[in-house]
Amino acid sequence: HKNTLTVRNSSRRDVEMDIEYLYEVVPQLSRVFRITDKIGEGTFSSVYLGEAQMTDGRREKFALKHLIPTSHPVRIAAELQCLTVAGGKENVMGVTYCFRKEHHVVIVMPYVEHQPFVEIVGTLSFEEVQHYIYHLLKALKHIHEFGIIHRDIKPTNFLYNRREKQYALVDFGLAQGTPDTQIELLKAPLLKPTKTEDVAARRFVSTKRRPLPARSSTTGQKPKPTSLNPALTCSCYMTDHICNICLSRKQQVAPRAGTPGFRAPEVLTKCPNQGTAIDIWSAGVILLSLLSGRYPFFKASDDLLALTQIMTIRGSKETAQAARKFGKAIVCSRELPPLDLRILCETLRGIRPCGGDSLPPEFRTSRHPADTKQEQTGPTPGPSRGTGWDSVPDHIYDLLDKLLDLNPATRISAAVALQHPLFKDFTE
């Protein structure tokens, strides 16, 4: 989502024009709401702040989500059904009302005042981090019990009011259902992924290719093929071309929705069988940001680079072994050992001195752990004394390890995670 950045860069006149347009296309809004601001803008919707006069005389704030007219009616209805069936409890946003005029739909929801995650990620106390991840897991447990896969878990979709200690999981626009989902409209064939002509979806993924040998200038014959793994049936593996065998293969269909940096390994490798575990991985990435004070932690321009960044943290051999479990083969040009998560997070947070062999060279010098070329977008925290960071229990790194399990089949569920020793003193 481009929400905060886009809105802040818009002039007040632009916002006023957008509000006027919204009143024009959905005129019944003007009878209920005074729309005062545009507070978010994404690919599929814009969100506005509105006030309404309540029957007891109070003026109450609401978030009005205007869905783009090209959204398919079933997709819109499915998002509404997620909000009405599962929303309104357990830190999941509910829906107050819905307006429709022709192709324009506006979903009205309670307004949760919140600070942008990037502004607070390095300032939270350890206790606040514990509560944040606990309440996120509560929301995930709740929607997963309904058979909802959110598919876009990230801080901007989990609103956090630090002062009031309120939490709200929002934006079910990309949600899909599990095979036993209770959300009827998530069973619709329309919501299954569409076929894409993506040759990279073939079974073998490589993070580095060998150059294609040059053709002989005298004979015009092709050079002898590179020796191949006997398990392979194609002639282009580890080269920079695609052979006819691969071109003729039936392309794999797999959902790829979500935000770069938060996609699980099974999403990045286009595994066709994706379940609620992809939301758990995203929660693990959020916890990684909270513990390290760095946000975004991963930021890659394509799926292969994203996979490489994961290998940098979790290890290349471990990533390849996990991928084999869900039917994918990954080849990395060099071996990357897994990192100790505590050492990584404490070094990046500034609690542990950086040096020696505690981290690989790229971590010692980069301003961002996953990409040495990008700028750190969040505050760079110093040592956090007096806020619980000098006595962090091993339990939280154990939970982080389980959330970032490379294999979705063994990755911890939200329900089991809530029983983790980290939360033994938590009460409902």
Residues labelled catalytic = 152
Q: How far is residue 220 from each of residues 15, 211, 212, measured CA to CA in Å? A: 64, 19, 15
Q: Alpha helix (H) ranges present in 193-350?
A: 244-248, 265-268, 277-292, 303-314, 316-325, 341-349
> What pairing do the DSSP bridges indicate for beta strands 59-67 and 104-110?
antiparallel
> Does 65 show up as a binding residue in the annotation?
yes
Phi, psi (rounded to 5 degrees) for 426: -80, 140
> What pairing do the DSSP bridges indicate for beta strands 97-101 and 148-149?
unpaired
Q: How far apart are the first and last CA of the chain?
A: 32
Q: What are the tokens at 22? A: 């919204």
Q: How far is residue 84 from each of residues 30, 72, 95, measured CA to CA in Å? A: 24, 19, 6
Burial of 223 (0-12, 13-18, 19+ CB in 10 A): exposed
Cα–Cα distance measured from residue 135 to residue 78, given in angstroms and rounded to the nearest whole number: 24
Cα–Cα distance measured from residue 142 to residue 377, given in angstroms and rounded to the nearest whole number: 32
Q: Is the torsion defined by CA of 69, 75, 77, 79 positive or negative?
A: negative
With CA atoms as reference, report the closest residue to 409 among 265, 312, 307: 265
Phi, psi (rounded to 5 degrees) for 392: -75, 125
Please report where in the chains the tokens 């089991």 appear, as a residue.
416
Phi, psi (rounded to 5 degrees) for 105: -125, 135
With CA atoms as reference, report the closest residue to 165 among 231, 204, 224, 115: 115
Cα–Cα distance measured from residue 314 to residue 311, given in angstroms and rounded to the nearest whole number: 5
Q: How far is residue 259 from each of residues 150, 177, 266, measured CA to CA in Å? A: 12, 18, 14
With CA atoms as reference, report the closest residue to 172 among 141, 142, 149: 149
Q: Which residues belong to the annotated binding site?
A: 65
Q: Which residues belong to the annotated binding site for ATP?
A: 65
